[in-house]
């Protein structure tokens, strides 16, 4: 099995980085091939721009998604984008490792989504959700935050963590066709003892070790919608 870990934390000694390293060690020990894209260490460029394209469908006006399609067809995407795409396309399981920033991902990871999830390559037309270009791959978020678990739960002040992350879980990962596995969250990490952090790390190792037994999150299925993308009366809620 091929595992890709996209890691977005600026501190190599962070607990988030320790989680990433534990996943690398455990998957490798189990005989799997692991590739890590450490975005900060790579000095990844998160800014989508015309510089991402070696050719232009319209040199006068930049429509980024349309130029992605043009350059995907022409094989003229920027080398850093193409390199990440190849890692992604080779992966069976993709883990996104990051600290929660403002109820979302760090800007550097958002920029990875913007630039690497190329229209015409991983989605486009009716190639989305269960018909997306990354169909067959599994994805998981593995994140840390300062808040308490009860603050990021149904009835808590911030609300349920999965609802908070839905733009990523559904609007990014599921949209491109990946099967979305339950998120792992390390809560209140900056304020915990080393012993408590060790317990979280062990829970994370068990979570990823058993990823094939995790129940995927429910996401839209195109067969439940008509040509205008309105839910069919006979379709069940996802």
CB 87 within 8 A of CB 133: no
Helix ranges (DSSP H) in 92-193: 107-116, 161-164, 166-168
The helix/strand/coil state of 32 is coil
Q: What is residue 92's three-state secondary structure?
A: coil
Question: Each residue of 140-165: pLDDT tens digit?
Answer: 999 999 999 999 999 999 999 999 99
In tens, the pLDDT along 177-231 reads: 999 999 999 999 999 999 999 999 999 999 999 999 999 999 999 999 999 899 9
C-beta of residue 100 within 8 angstroms of C-beta of residue 143: yes
Count of other CB atoms within 10 angstroms of residue 166: 14
- Tell me the residue length of the chain: 238
Is 186:145 a contact under the CB 8 Å cutoff? yes
Q: How far apart are CA 98 and CA 183, in angstroms?
A: 12
Which CATH topology does 2-224 take?
A: Rossmann fold (3.40.50)
Return the beta strands (E) in the chain as ranges.
2-7, 33-38, 93-99, 138-144, 179-180, 184-186
pTM of the shown model: 0.95
Q: What is the DSSP letter of 118?
A: -
- Alpha carbons 124 and 141: distance in angstroms, whole number: 24
CA atoms within 13 A on the CB side of 82: 12
Per-residue confidence at 234, pLDDT binned at 50, 70, 90?
confident
The torsion angles phi and psi of 233, rounded to 5 degrees, stand at: -55, -30
What does the pLDDT average to over 104-129? 96
What does the domain layout of the chain look like in residue ranges? 2-224
């Amino acid at each position: 099995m091929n595992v890709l870990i996209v890691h977005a934390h600026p501190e190599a000694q962070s607990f988030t980085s320790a989680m990433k390293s534990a996943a690398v060690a455990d998957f490798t020990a189990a005989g799997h091939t692991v590739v890590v894209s450490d975005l900060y260490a790579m000095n990844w460029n998160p800014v989508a721009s015309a510089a991402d394209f070696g050719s232009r469908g319209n040199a006068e006006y930049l429509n980024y998604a349309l130029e992605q399609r043009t350059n995907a067809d022409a094989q003229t995407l920027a080398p850093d984008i193409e390199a990440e795409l190849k890692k992604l396309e080779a992966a069976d399981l993709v883990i996104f490792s990051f600290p929660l920033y403002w109820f979302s991902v760090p800007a550097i990871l958002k920029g990875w989504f913007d630039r690497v999830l190329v229209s015409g390559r991983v989605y486009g037309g009716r190639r989305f959700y269960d018909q997306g270009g990354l169909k067959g791959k599994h994805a998981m978020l593995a994140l840390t935050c300062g808040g308490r678990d009860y603050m990021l739960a149904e009835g808590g002040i911030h609300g349920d963590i999965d609802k908070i992350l839905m733009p990523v879980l559904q609007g990014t990962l599921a949209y491109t066709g990946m099967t979305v596995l339950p998120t792992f969250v390390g809560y209140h990490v900056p304020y915990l003892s080393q012993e408590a952090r060790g317990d979280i790390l062990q829970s994370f190792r068990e979570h990823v070790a058993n990823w094939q037994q995790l129940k995927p999150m429910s996401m839209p299925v195109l067969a439940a919608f008509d040509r205008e993308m309105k839910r069919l009366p006979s379709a069940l809620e996802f």
